[in-house]
Amino acid sequence: MRKASGDPEFKFHPRCQQLGITHLSFVDDKILLASADMASFKIIKETLFLFGDLTGLRLNCSKSMIFFGSTPEAIKIALSEYMGIVLIDKVCSKINNWQSRHLSFGGRVELIRLVLSFYIGRDRWCWVGVFDGFFSQRSLWEDIRQKAERVPWARWLWSRHGIPRNEFTTWMLFHGKLPTRDRLIKWGERQWCIDNLGGRSLQKRLMQIVLMRTVYVIWQEMNSRDFGRAPISVDQLYHKIISVVHDRACSWRRVKRAKVNWDIVWIGA
């Protein structure tokens, strides 16, 4: 919002212009402040959509509200319709209409739901029974999802032996979507993984876990440094990687049998 406020078309709220305040945060709620004009609202909407594209956090109009002060009714209606947000006083006027004054409590609840349904549009799924009467979440997902070509590293990246958050971070890296300076791609790690990490042997699985844990720990450390936290040493990074790999591998049956039969001692954990 600070960057958006630099647009010459954007106008601050009259009480916030001197300090340059565009938004306030309270826990997970956000209050955006601006002048009640179409140009400013257009910039706000474009910024919210850009934020949604980058983070996946979309604007939920049904849980959002607009508060106006000393604004003509026509402008309030136009700006609310542009943002897709219901005017609270408009809903209240319909609920408090003379025809609803003598309704019971249950009748009022139904009236409120009916009024809101006209203002808040939602997408709905309509089940048409395309699976010969058999329903499962997996079959539904397979029917509605968009399928792309299978990549050569998908089979070893997503497995029951991995750690989900580490797998997800590695997946983001391979797609170039890590919100940090992902230098690993420039080093050719993806092609190396395709050539060397395929297979289900114990050695391959350990290498897969080590790689994904390394990507996750490095990404975490880069984020910490970007936010001004004190960097940790290479030895500390190593132990953060190897300790989790050790704990994960010790849950595998073949590793348990090998440790018992061959009296293996894990070095570095």
Q: So what's the pLDDT on residue 264?
A: 47
Q: So what's the pLDDT on residue 122?
A: 55
Q: So what's the pLDDT on residue 99?
A: 54
Q: So what's the pLDDT on residue 123?
A: 59
**Which residues of the chain fall below pLDDT 50?**
98, 182, 260, 262-265, 267-269
Strand partners, 179: none
CA 63 – CA 47 distance, rounded (Å): 18
Q: Tokens for 261?
A: 């039969």
Question: DSSP string of 209-260?
Answer: HHHHHHHHHHHHHHHHHHTTPPPPPHHHHHHHHHHHHHHHHTTSHHHHHHHH
Q: So what's the pLDDT on residue 269?
A: 44
Asked whether 45 and 39 are in contact (CB, 8 A), the reply is no
Q: Identify which of 63, 10, 60 has the alpha carbon closest to the alpha carbon of residue 38.
A: 10
CA 101 – CA 94 distance, rounded (Å): 11
Residue-wise pLDDT tens digits, 212-243: 788 888 888 877 877 778 888 888 888 888 88
